[in-house]
Structure 1
């Protein structure tokens, strides 16, 4: 199953445009709020999260920050219609954002960022699996060394 891309935005037109632009290239999920976004994350393998910054109840940064502990490997992209320096700094520092883009997005540009983000996500997963296997091998080696001496 391909890795999912979640787009969270309170504006239904943006969600529909995003889905129409990228559904042929990626496994797209959309959510109209942070709460809906959390639900999608629980139900699907999401590798990339794209969120609007300015939403009514929870900002994009607050949403990304709130899911960081549970989904540390997801790659996060923040979209906003406003170029706010403080939002950019918060996004990078608090939400560990990979890219910060200003709306309206350019489909070709965003597609490349999504492809790159999926590659990073998949590499992180492989790296974790290899690290885990290496730790197991080291434990086995230590056990053999103890019993053999």
Structure 2
């Protein structure tokens, strides 16, 4: 898959951050942005994303709370947290509660973030491939069990 097909959702209540992110990455990836968790929920219902990047400090829900709230319905996208504040408890919560893949400080380093988006997509693709292989293996296993039962009956 080409980088352009990597679909990213970026959530941040600061519009200038959304614009800066779009300006940096829209030519490389498919980027959709949301100013709030409510907007992000709508975009998640309408689109499939490989990577979700969220600011930590937002008015109604923190980035961690947002990730935690979507975990059951949208477990596949890789989650990345951005924050302007170095809060070790937020980092720990991000990893434990929101299953965050990476944590970055603002302002982000464009090359570092790009590199980690590529790595996050590799993780996404490998997880998807593992799920598909597991499903095939279970299907083959069922067929083998069926054939074995047929052989034992006859």
RMSD: 1.0
Give structure 1 stretches of 5+ with no counterpart: none
Q: 2:36 aligns with which of 33, 52, 63?
A: 33
Contact 1:5 1:28 in 2 (8 A): yes
Q: 1:17 aligns with which of 11, 15, 20?
A: 20
Give how far 1:25 is off. 1.0
What are the within-5 Å matches in structure 2 for residues 1-149 of structure 1?
A: 2-149=5-152
Give how far 1:126 is off. 1.1
Of structures 1 and 2, the larger Rg is shown by: 2
Give structure 2 stretches of 5+ with no counterpart: none
Moved over 3 A (4+): none
Contact 1:50 1:78 in 2 (8 A): yes
* TM-score relative to the length of structure 1: 0.97
Distance in 2 between residues matched to 1:15 and 1:81, nearest whole Å: 14
Give how far 1:146 is off. 0.3
Give how far 1:3 is off. 3.4
Distance in 2 between residues matched to 1:74 and 1:5, nearest whole Å: 9
Contact 1:3 1:45 in 2 (8 A): no
* TM-score relative to the length of structure 2: 0.94
